[in-house]
Amino acid sequence: MTAAIPLVWSDAHRRHAPTAEIWLGVRTPAVELPVRADAIRAALEAAGHPVVAATAHDDAALEAVHDPALLAFLAGAYADWTAAGLPDDPGQPEVVPYFFPNPALLGTIAPAVPAATWARTGFFAFDTMTPIGPGTWAAARGGADTALTACDLVAGGAPAAYACCRPPGHHVTRAAYGGACYLNNAAIAAAALRDRLGDPVAIVDVDAHHGNGAQSIFYADGGVRTGSVHVDPAQGWFPHFLGFAGEAGEGDGTGANRNLLLAPGSGDGPWVAAVEELARWASGARALVVALGVDAAAGDPESPLQVTQDGYRAAGRALGALGLPTVVVQEGGYDPGTIGGLVAATLAGLADGISNGGHG
Ligand code: SP5
Ligand code: ZN
């Protein structure tokens, strides 16, 4: 029996409390809220997981996967926005984009960062639903520290650690943010584990949405295998432009990306089978990062998948049975009433899989 998987935590998550998501130009209620992490922590503490405070880590760990220009933008965007008076005129309290450098606008001309504060956001953001408020950067930076602290535990010999990252991260590429995400915690963790434990590292993303960020960051890099199971973007689901089966990597990364697509309405049978396939594919890596979105669950307001708590437990078991040093990073999951139990079940399955190994 392994010791209970530690929960790594940063209080800074609460400083990101968006007032709205701009959806089709309309202010709609934000769903990526502080209550999410608080609900998960409560469930995991009740299940006996020890809490470990995140420690500060150097920016170099972020620069391993992100463009310094994106990091500088995120760190300063809210101060720039308020200095430009935009909360008063036109009355937008949070940093949002309005104009995007569509490749078909620019052709072969490289985009430059716009001079106007109100136009700059569109250089870095790829959707309108990922607002930057007064505490967003502190929260996102704390989330990265949370993932990196979990890496420290695992590199130090813990079989697994769970990073309760909020805001989530798996949609963020090297230089662009969106999808309620600001820093790609799973990619940051994979790079840190690669430094400490060697190549290759695997990322298995079980969030209901495609893990486009890690796919993009490591697309030409065979040192990090990236796999994602998600609802088929061709059937109308975010991130719409990416996540298709033919996206397999390029150059040194050819064959190192896997996308497994599920139809809306899919439940435990096909979803657990897909996770098992990604687990088999990850076997032989030196370390594993699980991008744990629990929004594939039935009842989640952001996805049409119908996975149960038992399905998440089975996914955890399959991933734990690999016996790899494992960092689990929180991604999506938007029903505060059920996400704690879903994460607890996944970690229980993971611990079970680790204990039983290949003998279960
Ligand atoms: C981390 C994560 O799970 N991000 C997923 C974000 C997907 N958001 C897609 C939003 C599509 C529009 N939904 C309408 C909700 C209106 N408030
Ligand atoms: Zn998601």
Structure token digits, residue 253: 């990364």
Inform me whether the pLDDT recorded for 82 exceeds 50. Answer: yes
What ligand 1 atom has the least distance to the C-alpha of 333? 3
SS3 231: strand
Inform me whether the pLDDT recorded for 24 exceeds 60. Answer: yes
- pLDDT class of 329 with cuts at 50, 70, 90: very high
User: pLDDT over 90 for what percent of the chain?
Assistant: 98
The reply to whether ligand 1 has any atom less than 6 angstroms from the CB of 207 is yes
User: Looking at residues 222-243, what average pLDDT do you find?
Assistant: 98
Note whether 90 and 81 are within 8 A (CB): no
CA distance 154 to 211: 23
User: Looking at residues 304-314, what average pLDDT do you find?
Assistant: 98
> pLDDT tens digits for 272-292?
999 999 999 999 999 999 999
Report the Cα–Cα distance between both ends of the chain, in Å, rounded.
13
Note whether 28 and 184 are within 8 A (CB): no
User: pLDDT over 70 for what percent of the chain?
Assistant: 99
CA distance 19 to 277: 39
Q: Could you tell me the CA-to-CA distances from 6 to 49, 107, 118, 158, 272 in Å, in that order?
A: 6, 49, 42, 9, 24
CA distance 102 to 107: 9
The reply to whether ligand 1 has any atom less than 6 angstroms from the CB of 55 is no
For ligand 1, atom 2, the nearest C-alpha belongs to 332
SS3 205: strand
> pLDDT tens digits for 98-107?
999 999 999 9
Helix (H) or strand (E) holding 302: none
User: Looking at residues 86-106, what average pLDDT do you find?
Assistant: 98
- pLDDT class of 266 with cuts at 50, 70, 90: very high
Q: Give the contacts of 194 (CB within 8 A, at least 6 positions apart).
A: 200, 201, 223, 224, 286, 287
Note whether 264 and 235 are within 8 A (CB): yes
Inform me whether the pLDDT recorded for 359 exceeds 80. Answer: no
Q: Taking the complete model, does pTM exceed 0.85, yes or no?
A: yes
Pocket test for ligand 1, best of 13, 16, 302, 342 (most atoms within 8 A of CB): 302
How confident is the model at residue 3, as a pLDDT?
78
How confident is the model at residue 318, as a pLDDT?
98
Tell me the catalytic residues: 171
User: Looking at residues 73-99, what average pLDDT do you find?
Assistant: 98
How confident is the model at residue 360, as a pLDDT?
43
Listing from the earlier edge strand, what are the strands of the sheet with 201-205?
Answer: 51-53, 7-9, 160-163, 326-330, 287-292, 201-205, 224-231, 257-262
Measured in residues, the chain has a length of 360
SS3 331: coil
For ligand 1, atom 12, the nearest C-alpha belongs to 23
Residue type, 280: R
- pLDDT class of 1 with cuts at 50, 70, 90: very low
CA distance 112 to 114: 6
Note whether 256 and 222 are within 8 A (CB): yes
Q: Give the contacts of 115 (CB within 8 A, at least 6 positions apart).
A: none
Residue 181: strand pairing partners = 178
Q: Could you tell me the CA-to-CA distances from 335 to 140, 177, 205 in Å, in that order?
A: 21, 23, 19
- Give the distance, in angstroms, between the CA of residue 15 and the centroid of all CA atoms in the same chain: 18
Inform me whether the pLDDT recorded for 190 exceeds 50. Answer: yes
User: Looking at residues 257-283, what average pLDDT do you find?
Assistant: 98
User: Looking at residues 312-317, what average pLDDT do you find?
Assistant: 98
CA of 339 to the centre of ligand 1 (A): 16
Nearest to 154 by CA among 289, 9, 321: 289
CA of 250 to the centre of ligand 1 (A): 28
Nearest to 112 by CA among 98, 123, 127, 97: 123
CA of 298 to the centre of ligand 2 (A): 13
Inform me whether the pLDDT recorded for 251 exceeds 80. Answer: yes
What is the average pLDDT score of the chain?
Answer: 97
What are the E-state strand segments in 232-304? Answer: 257-262, 287-292
Pairing of strands 21-23, 7-9: unpaired
> pLDDT tens digits for 43-76?
999 999 999 999 999 999 999 999 999 999 999 9
CA of 300 to the centre of ligand 2 (A): 10
